[in-house]
Structure 1
Amino acid sequence: MKNFYLLNIKWFYFLGFILFTLQGCQKDDSNGTEDESIYEDPNNSSGRFSEFITCSIISPPNEVGLSSYYKKYINCSGIPIIGNADVPDEALQIASETVEFMLTGLGNVRNKLISDGNYVALYPEGGSIGDLPENFTNNGNTGNYTNNNTLKAAASDVASLLCRPEAGYGHTLVHEIAHMIDGGALRFISPASQSELSNLYNQAISSGKWNNTYASTNPQEYLAEGVTIWYGVNWIGPEGGDGLRNEIGTRGQLQIYDSGLYNFINNYFNNKTAVPGCREPVISGTTANCPPTITDIDGNEYEIVNIGPMCWMKE
């Protein structure tokens, strides 16, 4: 009986040694395939860019077929951000974080955008949408989203991402990703959302809401402007509007002013706050008189920049 007991102990240690050795081999194998793990698709979706996932800024992979104009590529979310050599790495990283921020919790939306090969193209400071090779509609706006048989992409500026004083407008990328979520996903996976949105828009306009603002243009701009307000990164204008914006600039104000739009966004978008990057409004008004710095309740001091009629706090 004693020998049998000792034999069992020996087998126990022998098997333990084998398992330990196998685990060590598996770990070594994963280290040897580091590049493969970088390009894993986190959503198990198949699309144009889904085999080239990386949170580092790299040269665009040849396999994805982007124009040679583009020299930088980052793709943490399955929807890549691209730019030419003049687009700062900081802007690419903020844009990547912003896309991830807006798609958090929207699994079906994200998967649709990935499977259709959507991406975001940034143009550098001092440039315009017309500089990009995709032939986006260039009507003088700072951003665009196109979804057709040959192009599924958003174009956005760098200046508003980096809070440049000359960027006297709201958060272009948040506005365009709102279009992407709506026009690139919701209208396909939730067709009823489109009639719902149109009805809300018609009701709002007929009741006198959004007069003298860009939100009054059509249901799509109504939603995109509402989303930038939802996330607190729109340019706040004067009461009654200035042709582009009015005094509604926060989620709470939106709920009171247009509860229908508020509820629509609450149903189809996430309720996260604190958009990545440098934008945090601290003062609004038609002629904001910005202090050079501001100190929060914890004693942290932040530099203030004036963008249009608003003062913004840098991170």
Structure 2
Amino acid sequence: MMFVKIPCPLIVAFLVVTSWPGLVASGESPRAEESLTVQQPIPQQVVDKFALSDFYQKCILIDGFPVVASAQVNDAALQEAAHVVQAMLVKRGDILQRLVANKIRLAVIGVHQQTCDIPEHSDLTPVDYWNRRARGFGATKQRPCVSCAEENVLNLPGDPYYEENILIHEFAHAIHLVALADLDPQFQEKLEACYEAALKKETWKDTYAGSNVTEYWAEGVQCWFESNAENNAQHNHLNTREELKQHDPQLHALIQSVFVDTSYHYVRSDSAERTEAHLQDLDRTKLGKFQWSSAEPTK
């Protein structure tokens, strides 16, 4: 399903190219120190520029790009989400600024909140269906909110997507549909060429990545950053950058042309490898356990 990964089975070329015309890294990288500062309340100029609902009470600004949440969400969740965004877009400040220009914001859904509590998702119907099927969405210009969940970015108990990072998947959708669509008019054509080649090779047969070209991109980006699940109802064995290079070199080359800095590989926030200040002394037992809505979904 476009823009969201659901925890159920899917319903729904040989030339390696090393660079793509029209996608040249530009812009300064986001500045880490200042952009992990949580602001509460949200500055009025940010509220006005992005037409934010008063549901949102706190934010982090990454060179003008807002990561927002209600007062219920722990500051560390916003900081971790901002950390991932920064790491993905090193040397691609132009992508971040295109998202800002298109009024995109990143909303963190609280562990005790439902997906449709997010104002930009509140019109989705049936509500019970979406509250039982989604913990994050991508963004479009018409619906300018990309979202992720507190339990996933902070690796809290009950996270239904504990094997992967959903923020990277959903943010990849926003980068594709809202930023690259403007920055490189040929990007979609190049992506579709990769997808058609992969279909012929059956690289992603019977996987979520093989369901359509937008999910092909987002799943590929997850593999690039090594943040995807493997060997389950929706995934095959491909979930690392090296495996992507070996089995889908054309997609690997396209992704590398976008995320030109190769230093970042996703590491879970609860890993001992993570030493950032916002994760120190974080007591996850006090943040609660995620549970799906008790309402039965209706289609």
Q: Verify same fold: TM over 0.5.
A: yes
Tell me what 2:170 maps to. 176
Tell me what 2:269 maps to. 278
Runs of 4 or more, structure 1, over 6 Å off, are none
For the pair 1:243 / 2:233, whether they are aligned, the reply is: yes
For the pair 1:193 / 2:187, whether they are aligned, the reply is: yes
Aligned with 1:141 (options 110, 118, 134):
134
Corresponding residue SS for 1:80: strand
For the pair 1:56 / 2:37, whether they are aligned, the reply is: yes
- Distance in 2 separating the partners of 1:103 and 1:267: 12
Instruction: Tell me the alpha carbon deviations over residues 18-55 of structure 1, each in whole angstroms, 9 at most, x when there is no partner.
Output: xxxxxxxxxxxxxxxxxxxxxxxxx79xxxxxxxx854
Tell me what 1:263 maps to. 253
**Equivalent pair of 1:154/1:177 in contact (CA under 8 Å):** yes
RMSD, aligned α-carbons: 2.4
- Distance in 1 separating the partners of 2:250 and 2:157: 34
* Alpha-carbon distance, 1:277 to partner: 5.1
Tell me what 2:211 maps to. 217
* Alpha-carbon distance, 1:244 to partner: 1.4
* Alpha-carbon distance, 1:84 to partner: 0.8
For the pair 1:116 / 2:106, whether they are aligned, the reply is: no
Corresponding residue SS for 1:130: helix
Bigger relative CO (Cα 8 Å, ≥ 6 apart): 2
**Equivalent pair of 2:137/2:148 in contact (CA under 8 Å):** yes
The structure carrying a bigger strand percent of its residues is 1
Tell me what 2:8 maps to. none
Distance verdict in 2 for CA 1:184–1:279, change over 3 Å: farther
Give the letter for the 2:216 counterpart: Y
- Distance in 2 separating the partners of 1:211 and 1:127: 35
Give the letter for the 2:265 counterpart: A
Tell me what 1:104 maps to. 90
* TM-score, length of structure 1 as denominator length: 0.67
**Equivalent pair of 1:97/1:276 in contact (CA under 8 Å):** no
Instruction: Tell me the alpha carbon deviations over residues 248-298 of structure 1, each in whole angstroms, 9 at most, x when there is no partner.
Output: 111111111111111110111132323365166xxxxxxxxxxxx99xxxx
| Fraction of identical pairs, as percent | 28
- Distance in 2 separating the partners of 1:68 and 1:163: 27
* Alpha-carbon distance, 1:172 to partner: 0.8
- Distance in 2 separating the partners of 1:106 and 1:127: 32
Trace 1:77-96 onto structure 2 (pairs within 5 A): 77-96=63-82
Give the letter for the 1:148 counterpart: K
State which structure, 1 or 2, has the greater radius of gyration over its C-alpha atoms: 1
* Alpha-carbon distance, 1:96 to partner: 0.8
- Distance in 2 separating the partners of 1:96 and 1:184: 18
Q: How many residue pairs get matched?
A: 228
Give the letter for the 2:153 counterpart: L
